[in-house]
Amino acid sequence: MFGYPGLSSPSLQLNEAGKLKHLLTLEGLKPHHIQDILDRADGFINTDTRQIHKQPLLKGKTIVNLFFEASTRTRTTFEIAEKSLGADVINLNVATSATKKGESLLDTIYNLEAMQADMFVVRHAKSGAAHFFAHHVAPHVHVLNAGDGRHAHPTQALLDAYTIRHFKGADFSQLRVAIVGDILHSRVARSQIQVLNLLETEEIRLVGPKTLLPHDASAMGAHCFTDIEAGLKDVDVVITLRMQNERMSSARLPSEQEYFETYGITEERLKLAMPDAIVMHPGPINRGVEIASTVADGPQSVILDQVTFGIAVRMSVMAGIMQT
Ligand code: NCD
């Protein structure tokens, strides 16, 4: 964690009019913020053909992608989204940047600002990194959190909500959603739980071994299940998550094989869910660990739709934020 107050303070990301100036977390947002983003995303994609509608709304703006942690989908879809909005895009290669030569994060921020950046898209292994940026940038600069430690990954949760809305309709109050896997270490799960609650989802189930479930699930508006069969029963949406091995302080699992046998999403287990249930995963997927290949590639999987829809949702977030 960055030693800095206000990690969960929503005020940092909203302007006086209550509009999003940065997107750091979904915590503290109102349902209308979410609806606005999802509705605006509709204008950036034809969901039948999966064609992205390019619109030069950010022409003349410079966006810097700062990924201090590995990423494939998130970084690439951000870049496609930025270019589709006509922005000038800079990908800072953090591995060879001055941070490696001992420059502080703050000095990196000031230097990038001096290069006329209008927006930073930040991914960092430390929780609170995006808040730290937002706290220190000049008033006209926007910050977007592309994943900070175990804390939050708001655009992933938004694209997941968009995907669910596409396949299951806008009324979440009839939906049962199971998030299966390493919930405890997952920033994706935290943000997903927040967005699902904002959209008034009927039931949010967190399914996994006790060691990977949060202790405060009911305060988060979710129910825990250690029994996979009970957890999957009659759900409309199954979200599978990877083991966040890099964030575990000690090995909390016996073996990948044993995990697959106990919690892996197989065709057999998927039959417990509703017959038209969809299967999601933020990626990267580990076949044969949290999900069987036959399910990942099967007719109920919408994993690749999530990736495409993510472009439209990220365009929507950036276009909305830049208008404030
Ligand atoms: C997730 C992430 O990086 O938090 N992936 C992603 O953004 N697509 C999930 C993960 O790494 O397991």
What are the tens digits of pLDDT across the range 131-153? Answer: 999 999 999 999 999 999 999 99
Strand order of the sheet with strand 223-225?
223-225, 203-207, 176-180, 237-240, 278-280
Distance CA 117, CA 139 (A): 12
- SS3 letters for 58-107? CCCCEEEEEECCCCCHHHHHHHHHHHHCCCEEEEECHHHCHHHHCCCHHH
Q: How would residue 5 be classed by pLDDT, with cut points 50, 70 and 90?
A: very low
* Residue 146 alpha carbon, nearest atom of ligand 1: 7
CB atoms within 10 A of CB 127: 16
Mutate which of 153, 245, 307 to test ligand 1's pocket (most atoms within 8 Å of Cβ)? 153
For the chain, which residues make up each domain, given as ranges?
A: 11-153+307-322, 155-302
Ligand 1 center to 114 CA (angstroms): 31
Whether residue 271 is predicted with pLDDT greater than 50 in this model: the reply is yes
DSSP string, 246-276: GG-SS---S-HHHHHHHH-B-HHHHTTS-TT
- Answer whether 308's CB lies under 8 Å from 41's CB: no
Query: How many whole angstroms from 122 Cα to the centroid of ligand 1?
Result: 14
Residue-wise pLDDT for 204-257, tens only, equals 999 999 999 999 999 999 999 999 999 999 999 999 999 887 777 766 676 889
**pLDDT higher than threshold 60 for residue 3:** no
Average pLDDT, stretch 71-81?
95
CATH code linked to domain 11-153+307-322 = 3.40.50.1370
154 CB contacts (<8 Å, ≥6 apart)?
A: 23, 24, 25, 26, 145, 191
Same fold, 11-153+307-322 and 155-302: yes
With 0-12 / 13-18 / 19 or more C-beta atoms within 10 angstroms meaning exposed / middle / buried, residue 197 is middle
* C-alpha span between 145 and 153 (Å, rounded): 7
First CA to last CA distance, the chain: 29
The tokens describing 194, both together, are: 């927040």
How far, in Å, CA of 310 to CA of 312, rounded? 5
Q: Which of 170, 146, 166 is nearest to 31 (CA)?
A: 170
SS3 306: helix
Quote the CA–CA distance of 241 and 282 in Å, as a whole number: 7
The answer on pLDDT for 290 being more than 50 is: yes
286 Cα to the center of ligand 1, angstroms: 12
Confidence class of residue 49 from pLDDT cuts 50, 70 and 90? very high
- Ligand 1: residues with CB < 6 A are 73-74, 147, 153, 156, 187-188, 242, 282-283
In a 13 Å sphere around the CA of 237, the CA atoms on its Cβ side amount to 30
Fold designation for 155-302: Rossmann fold (3.40.50)
Distance 283 CA to ligand 1 centre (A): 6
Lowest mean pLDDT among 4-8, 40-44, 91-95, 244-248: 4-8
Question: Measured from the CA of 282, which atom of ligand 1 is nearest?
Answer: 8
Distance, CA 322 to ligand 1 centroid (Å)? Answer: 25
* pLDDT given for residue 248 in this prediction: 76
Looking from the CA of residue 71, the nearest atom of ligand 1 is 3
Cα(118) to centroid(ligand 1), Å: 25
CA 244 to ligand 1: nearest atom = 12
What is the H or E stretch that residue 309 is in? helix 303-322
Q: How many residues does the chain have?
A: 324
Buried b (16+ CB within 10 A) or exposed e, 252-269: ebeeeeebbeebbbeeeb
pLDDT value, residue 323 = 84
